Chain A
Amino acid sequence: MTTPTLDEVAQALSQMVADKMDIDVASIKPDSSLQSLGLDSLDTFDLIFSAEDHFKIKVPNDQIKIETLHDVSVLVHKLTIEQNK
């Protein structure tokens, strides 16, 4: 598969957050903190799980150090490049 761009990853993640949290995707900014979007630690695990499914990647436990949606996008984007080689 072709590796998605950082923008494409960010858009897909925003949509996932909107679906999970029942919020308008337009209200989600790339630099929004996950906490401000209403995600607690469990919701964050669930978001990572969905991202793993969607992008066919595996996020190692020691790499889940994220505060903003942008952090998630960067991490997922990096892993799609590394793991889809």
Chain B
Amino acid sequence: MSISLNRRRVVITGLSVVSPLGNTIADLTHNIFSGVSGIKLLDAEFVDKLDCKIAAQAHFDPTDHFSKHTYGMLDRTSQMALHTSIEAIKDASLEITDQLKPRMGVYLGTGMGGANSVEEAYIRLYRDNASRLKPFTVLMGMNNAAAAAIGLEHQLTGPNLTFSTACSSSSVAIGEASRQIRHGYADVMLAGGSESLLTFGTIKAWEALRTLAEQDVNDLTSSCKPFSADRTGMVLGEGAAMMVLESYEHAIARGATIYAEILGYGSASDSAHITKPSVDGQAITIQTAILDADIPSEAIQYINAHGTGTMLNDVTESNAIKKAFGDHAYNLSISSTKSMHGHLMGATGALEAIITTLAVYNNKLPPTINLSNPDPECDLDYVPNVAKTLPRLNYAMSNSFAFGGTGASLIFKKIN
């Protein structure tokens, strides 16, 4: 078998989510275009010990989907990832033949991997003074556990890699997976992300960084306010999002339904500060994706922003968009759907990539909710509060930026 380095087209043929806005693509589609918030009071026994008591939780019960023997060996992060892999393959109507298995891989993003299992182990050791840990602790906690579980379930023997670049992890995973197909190393890839870090220890660690949103006194579901003058920070979320990517030829040959094409991917590093985002770094990330897509920047019509809702991110990202697009920045529509689904950390890029894909597929732009008091320093069109319909959405971008400085931008194209 020879590997061709010719550039092949990469298309999206399957989607699945476990998210604060629903666990089906139909529910997600309805909620993002209706401006529904998935942010609520955190349902956890330790909530009273938190300063920040709100979160965007996914309603996912592993007993609905797996045997005890299966879910008992998996952290919640892996359970959600495995479930979305099964559903994405179903959505793609993809039959995984023996011939396909070595040509199909798994690229997954996660920030903290099996955070629940690690924390449970520490509770056992340090609080309960246990002298030993459960035999599965390493296997449940390791960062590549979710990708490994997916590979095992579907017996995929192509490349299986886990990307951990904090908030951009799963955008990087999708971008790198598209390159595996583009350059002929694989024909089909499962690409996405998973994160479940709403543990007492992790939330406390986030509180200490002083980046979490304050609870809105009138309506706690409105606490995340990207690009708004009164924004106070991000809201932590959890979930998983998975795409089936395949070469255009492979998809056409089997008569698959195509949601959109992945036309470009760019990744760059700020290398400026561990947390403070850089206009230059973000602009280079965006420009690299446009170069990769080989389209004029004016072709982009919509950007799903990283849009965390922190004071610093939203101004920096707005300025980076202006730097990358020039005057066209003012023609673009931009939204932060984190206002609805919160920040899913290592899974957020994949969820937003799916939302951007749904935008292209439906010619519809999801809104930035809770935006009635715009920040004068954020003076672009952020699709405030209400979804917008376009006659035709041909090209859209999804941005992810991260602590540590690794940025990733993906460009999606409508299939004619």
Contacts and interface: CB of A to CB of B under 8 A. Distances in A.
Contacts of B68: 19-22
A22 B135 contact: no
Interface string A37-74: 01000110110010010000000000000000000000
Interface of A: 19-22, 38, 42-43, 45-46, 49, 52
Interface residues of B, number: 10
A46 B139 CA distance: 12
Contacts of B73: 42
B72 A49 contact: no
Main secondary structure, interface of A, reads helix
B7 interface: no
A52 to B, nearest CB: 8
Contacts of B67: 22
Interface string B105-136: 00000000000000000000000000010111
Contacts of B136: 42, 46
14 contacts: A20-B68, A20-B72, A21-B68, A21-B69, A22-B67, A22-B68, A42-B135, A42-B136, A43-B69, A45-B135, A46-B135, A49-B132, A49-B135, A52-B132
Nearest to A47: B135
A40 B44 CA distance: 34
A42 B134 CA distance: 11
Contacts of A52: 132
A22 B62 CA distance: 14
Interface in B40-84: 67-69, 72-73
A22 B69 contact: yes
Contact of B134 (A22, A38, A49): A49
